[in-house]
Amino acid sequence: MKFLRMRPGYGEQLIAEGDPAIAEDEQRLVEEFRRQLDGGMWAAIPTSAPDGRREAEMVHAFEDIPQDTSRVIFFPRAAGGAR
């Protein structure tokens, strides 16, 4: 599983990678997930339906991430734009 983070002037950046089936990796991923959310990020998982449709799921806790997920994308939380 890869954690990617969108960054200004960079595009996406790999911030963590590991196999959640391995306890050590899982711990590292959980900590990184919490750090990102505490830092004001939103997390989403892009998914593919069998009919080819692409969707995305927002995740709020590490436990919500499906086992077979290959990547989680973090991006800054939304804020209201120009008033």
Partner 1 sequence: MTVALCATTIVVLALLWEVAMPWIDRRVEARRARRERRAAGAAPYDPGRERRAEQRARELLKSCVNEEEWGMYRDLGFLRVWGGQSRPQGARELQGVDYAYLVYPHKPIVAYLPQTGQLLNEYCVEFPDEARPYGTPRLPDSDDVLAKWMALKGDERRLISEANLHLPGRQVDTRQVQRDLWRLGRWERERLARASREASERSSRRAETADG
* Interface residue with partner 1, options 54, 63, 66, 68 (CB under 8 A): 54
Q: What is the DSSP letter of 45?
A: E
Contact region with partner 1 (CB under 8 A), list: 14-22, 24-32, 50-58, 61-69: 50-58
Query: Contact between 50 and partner 1 (CB under 8 A)?
Result: no
Residue 4 carries which side chain, given as an amino acid letter?
Answer: L
Query: Contact between 66 and partner 1 (CB under 8 A)?
Result: no
Round to whole Å and give the CA distance between 2 and 16: 6
Calculate the alpha carbon distances from 81 to 15, 38, 40, 78 in Å.
28, 22, 17, 9
> In the complex, which residues of this chain contact partner 1 (CB under 8 A)?
4, 6-12, 39-40, 42, 44, 46, 49, 52-58, 73, 75-83
